[in-house]
Structure formats: C-alpha cells, structure tokens
Amino acid sequence: MHWEYAPAPQAQDIVELRPSYGLFIDGEFSDPDDGTSLETVNPATEQVLARVAAAGPRDVDRAVTAARRAYQQTWGPMPGRERAKYLFRIARLVQERARELAVLETLDNGKPIRESRDMDIPLVAAHFFYYAGWADKLEYAGFGPSPRPLGVAGQIIPWNFPLLMAAWKLAPALAAGNTCVLKPAETTPLTALLLAEIIQQADVPPGVVNIVTGDGLTGEELVLHDGVDKIAFTGSTEVGKRIQRAVAGTSKHLTLELGGKGANIVFEDAPIDQAIEGIVNGIYFNQGHVCCAGSRLIVQESIADAVIDRLKRRLQTLRLGDPLDKNTDIGAINSPGQLDKITELTASGIREGAERWSSPCALPDRGYWFPPTILTRVSQSHRVAREEIFGPVLSVLTFRTTQEAVSKANNTPYGLSAGVWTEKGSRILWMADQLRAGVIWGNTYNRFDPSSPFGGIRESGFGREGGRHGLEAYLDVR
Amino acid sequence: MYDERIGVRKTYKLAIGGQFLRSESGRTYVVPDSSGTFSANAALASRKDVRDAVVAARTAYRGWAGTTAYNRGQVLYRVAEMLEDRYLQFGEAVSAGEGSDEVKARANVTMAVDRLVWYAGWADKMAQVAGSANPVASPYFNFSIPQPVGVVGVIAPQRSSLFGLISVLAPVIVTGNTAVVLASEERPLAAITLAEVLATSDLPAGVVNMLTGRISEVVPVLAAHRDVDALDLCGVPADLAAGIEEIAAGSVKRVLRSRGAEPDWSEPPTPRRMLSFVEIKTVWHPIGV
C-alpha cells in the first residue's frame, strides 16, 4: 500500500533570523575581541542561516571573568529559593517560545520538526522546571548537609540535541549555584543564542550564563582557562579523552558524556510490533545522531529473518525529506563532515563482508542526506560493530542463548545504553543487571526524563545528568 | 649448651589471585625498618606481575560483584574479626614499619578494625542511600542503582601502612569492585601480612591482589591497562599525579585524585570514597497489564 501525503510545512516566519550573532557575555551580546566568525548552515538546504561569532582567547577570558564576578557577587550569595524562581522563569519562557525554538532547532540542525517540537523543546522546559525545584533543596539531595557549588562551570555541548544539551548542562549547574560559560557546537549555535535572549527576558543577572560560540579552538580555550572550576563535556570519546588529559594534574572537576555503541537486544518472545518500532526509534530517531543510539541490533536467531523483513517494510514507510514538513520522519544529516563519516564507515562494513540494505527513498538534491540503512552479516570484529557511526545505520548481529546476547552486547569499550525486548519482566531485570551500560531500556528505547539519571560507564564517560544524581556533577562533594 | 633460638623469618611475596608468589622477574628490594635496619626483602613487582594481578582481579570481579550485598558485608566483617584476632602481631608490624611506639601502633590497628566494621555495614545500604526511584512522566518503573565500576587500581597511602591502606581498600571492595593494590613503597610489609589475613577471611581469591614495588614502575602500567576501570591515586606523590592522570585518560578511567598531603585517617569517614568507585545504572522497566 502506498500512501500519498500532502505537504504539511511548518511555517518558518515564527523565527526571526538575524544576519549575524555576537557572543553572549555578561548579559549582553557583543562582537568578539579577538575571535573570528563562522557561518551556520541549514543542512537540509545548504543555505547559510547566519554568521555567528567564533570566540577567541580574550573573549573566552571575558566570559569566564564575567561568570566569576557573577558567582561572587550575585548568583553565589543569592538564596536558593530566588535562584529557583529564575530557573522556573526560564522553563516558562521556553514553553512560551517553544514553537519558535523548535523551528529554529530544525533549521539549524536538520532534525524533523516533529522531533524538535514534540521531544527536544518540551524536554528542555521540563529539565529547567525539574532542576528549578532543587535550587532551594540541595541540603536534602544526599550530598551532605550544606553542599557547596563548584564555581564557574565550562560546558561544551554537541550538535545532535543543541538546545536540549544546553538545558542538561545549564539547569543543574545553575540550580546548584554555579555560573556558566557554555560553548555550543560549531554547526548548531542558534538555539543557544535564542536561549540567551530568553535568559535576558528572565532578567537573570548578567554573567550567570555566558554563551561563547565557536569551533573546537574556542572549546579548548575554555577547557584550559585557569578560571574554570569545572568542565562538563558531551561529545565524542576521542575529544573526551583529550579533555581528560588536559585537566590532568589540575583541580578542575570533570564530567564526560561520550560516545556509545548501544545494543538493542530482541528476544524471540518480544512483543514484535513494539520491538520493530523500538528498533526504528533506537537507531533512526534524530538520523541516528544519538550517543545512546541502539546501533547494534542483537536479535535472537530464531526470529532474525522475520524481524529484518518487517524492519525493512517499516523503513520503507519512513518519510525522508524536508525537516520542516510535519510528516517527515528522517531529516538531514547535520553536516557534510558527518555525512562523509557515515558514508565511509558504511563502506567499510561492506568491504569487511556486511550486506547493505537501504530504504529506497528518494534523497533531495540539495542538503546532506543518508537513507535509513541496515547492515546484516555483521560480525563482532567489523568496524561497523565496534565504532560509533552516529548516523542512520543499524548493524545486525544474532544470538542463540541469553549468555551469548550478554557477551555480544558487552563486547565494546563503550557502556552508555542498551535495550532489552522480551515479554518476561524478570528477564528484563536480569539482563539489566548483566549489561554493562549506564542506561537500560526495557521494551522501550531512547526515552528521557529530567528525573532519570543518564550517563555512561567505561569509555562512554563518567558522571550523570538528570535526577538527583545530576546535581553531584556541580556540587563540591569531595 | 646453645640456648638462643634463631627466629624463622617470613618471605614476603606478592598476593595475586589468591596465591602468594614471588615476582615473576625474580627481583626484590630491601625494606628497612623505621630505624634503617634491614627488615626484609619485599618482592619488586614487574609489569608482568601487574598484568597478572589485573587478570586475577577481572576474573574475580564477576563473582564478587554478583554476591549479595549481605554476603559482602559479612565477608568484610569477617576480615575485621581476623584482624582483631591478630592485633598484637599487626601492632608489632606497624610499629616496626612506621616507627611509632607499640601502644600507638596497636591503637592504629584497632582503628583499622573499626574502619572495616564501618564499611562492612555499608554493603547493603549503599543502594538505598545512593540509589533512587525516579518519577518519570511515562509508564515506566524507573530506578537508579549504584554499580561497581569494575577493577580498581589502588595506590595505597605511603605513610599509614595498615590503617590508611584499609581506609582506601575497604570502600573499593565493599561496593563490589575488585582491586589491584600497590602497597606503600617504603612500608610494604604490613600490607602483605594483611593479604594473608584476607586469604583466610572468606574473601574470594583475586578480589584483592597485593603488589609491592615501585610507584614509578607499577602505576603507569596500571593507569594504561585497559581492563582497569578506575584508580585511587591516594599514595601517588604530587609530582607524578598529572602524568598518571594523563595516561588514565587514554581509557577514560575514573580517577580519585591524590590530595597532596596524606589525609588524617582518624577523621570520621564519609561515603565519598565508595561513591567514587560506583557508577549509577538507570533501568526503565515497562508498566502495563
């Protein structure tokens, strides 16, 4: 059955793009002192959206100095109940401007409006709302009777959930009483800059949140700056290791949320319709640009062929194209660099013996696109089973016994997430105990909640974001 | 008539996987007592010994992490019992090694026993204190529990050869981790005797592997080993710490930094050391009819 869809475009005029954006330092936008600028592009059209400042060393220094001053003079001495109200204000303002944020996120990142509207932005508001309530209750958080903030937090975030990652970083840091210098990703700076406007509207004191856009060099300046007490980083394991090396021997606190190669394990007794949707959501959600993506399907041999057949049928119904169309399931790959990486790794899979199947959907002429893809005949030694692809590419492995499923799932230096699909509740809990990962989803995948701690083990990093545990990253608990 | 009895001296060995072994390298180093007189030769652990110890710790990990918290608590309490039993012996060892008088040394041993008892009681409380049930806005039972990180490399304090050692070792193992310990470089003998206590305390072989040797030789190997999940750098001198941390970053190890001067171990402990060697696991379990 082939369904025709009428176009259902989300109007863009809700967003007012400026031709260029400065740095948000000490409560105001300013041009860089010694920085440069870079273009941010709509990955679905290759059109330049705006020019954005790239902060240089003096700019980063200005931001850290402003954050230090705010920490000492306003935010630090402020009672938690007052900090809380600022955070509640931010949550409300995000809700009020939710559609505008969603459209801007989709323009800058390439993700479908359905996801930015229904997932990213509501979770942003929820995250601020959740942590707002902690600001005046820290003494009950289980980190001692009067836990102290760390000071100035330098926070570096990725491009896959630009505003959501900003919220994950800012909300707990501010609730705990720290001030922040946030460095958004090079290719997705715009929603963070809109958040800066929201922070102005909320009358948050100057310097409490500073946003320095730029590339990796800006991030490096921030990591190395002596005035920073804490570094929080979300991104690749490779860069995470560099940051951990850079803070070695200093007194800087560090939390890292890094890559993953999540196993999505499907037992033969699984609720299959649900599991198919879960596999799709696990790896094709957000074009697979998800650190906790279920990029390895580990399916019981007895149902493997049936699952793969159904998966292929399901993928053919996914609509790839204009991310602003409300019926779009698969948006654009965020950057040409990422597209190259996905293409190269997928090709390596075929060279090493995997079999490729891609959804036969048409790709738009402009923009960066990769069709939903399944690799079968994958063995554990293949690069596509070991390395994070960060794209809509699923590697399929099979198992016979439960123990084999556990061994294969754990056969990775990463340890961020895993999914288990089975009708047996007891088996979900047994598997959850055996799997080496920070987050285990039973009969679901890629589900997030501000009250639920998220983070990895092993080379997926350390520290938690979300929940009571997420406060620990921003409190002096030693 | 010859009436002087010649004492039987102990050979101090490495403790790896429940066995007491000489260094595979055949090397030893001289351990003087606090007055500088020859006291014993300790094994000088090699890189191969470190790797063997990590293998033993990894092998023991599955079983030890899988035991019930109640059981782990009892095992630690059993260690306390064994140590209490030998407090005169350890008093002598600590006194000889650290140069304190025997009364003070014995007090040191009893504090170590009490520290073990304190930690033993934590085994079945950690998940309740550090875990949570999370009120997610969807139909899932969402809970978070602390899990051991795995194999932990422990560089024991340099000065307090028994009490300090117990204060860093107990929090690592009570939470379900297994350990590769490098004993105090200058004062390693009490640690080896402690390993003999551990071997008779229901602690499964390989849960604690005790090495003696040089920080500069052993610690970089531990820090670089990809099957070591975390490091406690307590006994690492400040000038070596940065280099070790840099090596540890190669496999994103959790590192409990050395804090410069050795802590005053008689200060009341907090759960911090245990929390440094657990990581939170969050499980989403479906709810439905």
- Identify the H or E element spanning A240: helix A237-247
Nearest CA in chain B to A418: B283
Report CB contact under 8 Å: B283, A442.
yes
Report CB contact under 8 Å: B281, A455.
no
Is position A291 annotated as part of the catalytic site?
A: yes
Chain B contacts of A439, Cβ < 8 Å?
281-284
Q: Which of B200, B195, B199, B224 is nearest to B212 (CA)?
A: B195
Does a structural domain hold residue B152? yes
pLDDT at A4 (0 to 100): 82
Nearest-CA distance from A208 to chain B in Å? 29
pLDDT exceeds cutoff 80 at A1: no
Report CB contact under 8 Å: B137, A449.
yes
- Identify the H or E element spanning A358: strand A355-358
Contact B272, A477 (CB under 8 A): yes
Average pLDDT, chain A: 97
Report CB contact under 8 Å: A442, B136.
no
- B contact set with A (CB within 8 A): 129-130, 132, 134-138, 140, 142, 144, 147, 149, 226, 229, 241-246, 248-252, 254, 270, 272, 275, 279-286
List b or e across A49-70, with b for residues whose CB sees 16 or more CB atoms inside 10 angstroms. bbebbbbbbebbbbbbbbbbbb
Which amino acid is residue B262, in one-letter code? E
Report CB contact under 8 Å: A429, B130.
no
Nearest-CA distance from B84 to chain A in Å? 30
Nearest CA in chain B to A249: B242
pLDDT exceeds cutoff 90 at A269: yes
pTM of the model: 0.96
pLDDT at B259 (0 to 100): 78
Give how far Cα A330 sits from Cα of A167, A303, A384, B90, Å.
24, 27, 21, 68
**Overall average pLDDT of the A104-132 stretch:** 98
A369 Cβ contact list (under 8 Å, min separation 6): A320, A332, A333, A339, A363
Does a structural domain hold residue B2? no
Chain B contacts of A437, Cβ < 8 Å?
281
Domain of B198, in residue numbers: 14-286
Contact A102, A109 (CB under 8 A): no
The token pair that represents A430 in the structure block: 């047994």
Average pLDDT, chain B: 96
Backbone angles phi and psi of A138, in degrees to 5: -60, -30
Tens digit of each residue's pLDDT (9 = 90 or more) over A427-446: 999 999 999 999 999 999 99
pLDDT exceeds cutoff 80 at A290: yes
Tens digit of each residue's pLDDT (9 = 90 or more) over A190-245: 999 999 999 999 999 999 999 999 999 999 999 999 999 999 999 999 999 999 99
Strand residues in A92-206 grouped as ranges (E) = 148-149, 152-156, 179-183
Does a structural domain hold residue B205? yes
Chain A contacts of B285, Cβ < 8 Å?
425, 428-429, 432, 442
Chain A contacts of B136, Cβ < 8 Å?
447, 449, 451-452
Chain B contacts of A477, Cβ < 8 Å?
272, 275
CB proximity A451 to B under 8 Å:
yes
Domain with CATH 3.40.605.10 in chain A: 20-258+457-476
Domain with CATH 3.40.309.10 in chain A: 263-442
Report angle CA A398, A403, A409 to the nearest 5 degrees: 55
CA distance A49 to A31: 18
Sign of CA dihedral A429, A430, A431, A435: positive
CA distance A117 to A343: 28
Contact A110, A328 (CB under 8 A): no
Helix or strand or coil: residue A311?
helix
Does a structural domain hold residue B5? no
Which amino acid is residue A74, in one-letter code? T
Choosing from A105, A180, A291, A472, which is the catalytic residue? A291
The token pair that represents B183 in the structure block: 């004993």
The token pair that represents B209 in the structure block: 């592997």
Nearest CA in chain B to A259: B252
The token pair that represents B71 in the structure block: 């059981």
How many contiguous H segments (helices) and E segments (strands) does chain B have?
10, 12
For the structural domain made of A20-258+457-476, what CATH number should be given?
3.40.605.10
pLDDT exceeds cutoff 70 at B126: yes
pLDDT at A477 (0 to 100): 86
Report CB contact under 8 Å: A451, B135.
yes
Report CB contact under 8 Å: B254, A462.
yes
CA distance A342 to B125: 46
Does a structural domain hold residue B213? yes
CB proximity A258 to B under 8 Å:
yes
Nearest CA in chain A to B236: A249
The edge-to-edge listing of strands for the beta sheet with A209-211 is A28-30, A23-25, A209-211, A179-183, A152-156, A230-234, A253-257, A461-462
Contact B157, B191 (CB under 8 A): no
Chain B contacts of A455, Cβ < 8 Å?
279-280
Helix or strand or coil: residue B203?
coil
Chain A contacts of B252, Cβ < 8 Å?
237, 240-241, 244, 256, 258, 458-462
β partners of residue A23: A30
Tens digit of each residue's pLDDT (9 = 90 or more) over B33-59: 988 999 999 999 999 999 999 999 999
Nearest-CA distance from A173 to chain B in Å? 19
**Overall average pLDDT of the A267-274 stretch:** 97
The total domain count for chain B is 1
Report CB contact under 8 Å: B284, A447.
yes
CA distance A442 to A462: 22
Residues of A (104-143) whose Cβ lies below 8 Å from B? 126, 142
Does a structural domain hold residue B6? no
Q: B273: domain CATH number? A: 3.40.605.10
Choosing from A115, A220, A257, A472, which is the catalytic residue? A257
From the list A249, A442, A443, which residue is nearest B245 (CB)? A249
Does a structural domain hold residue B9? no
Chain A contacts of B279, Cβ < 8 Å?
438, 455, 457, 462
- Identify the H or E element spanning A30: strand A28-30
> What is the rounded radius of gyration, in angstroms, for the C-alpha atoms of chain A?
22
CB proximity A2 to B under 8 Å:
no
pLDDT exceeds cutoff 70 at A478: no
Chain A contacts of B249, Cβ < 8 Å?
241-242, 244-245, 248
From the list B136, B243, B251, which residue is nearest A451 (CB)? B136
Looking at CATH, the fold of the domain delimited by A263-442 is given as: Aldehyde Dehydrogenase; Chain A, domain 2 (3.40.309)
pLDDT at B289 (0 to 100): 83
Nearest-CA distance from B250 to chain A in Å? 6
The dihedral region occupied by A348, where left means phi > 0, alpha psi between -120 and 50, and beta the remainder, is: alpha
Tens digit of each residue's pLDDT (9 = 90 or more) over B208-252: 999 999 999 999 999 999 999 999 999 999 999 999 999 999 999
HEC profile of B72-130: HHHHHHHHHHHHHHCHHHHHHHHHHHHCCCHHHHHHHHHHHHHHHHHHHHHCCCHHHHH
The residue among B3 and A478 whose pLDDT is bigger is: B3
pLDDT exceeds cutoff 80 at A2: no
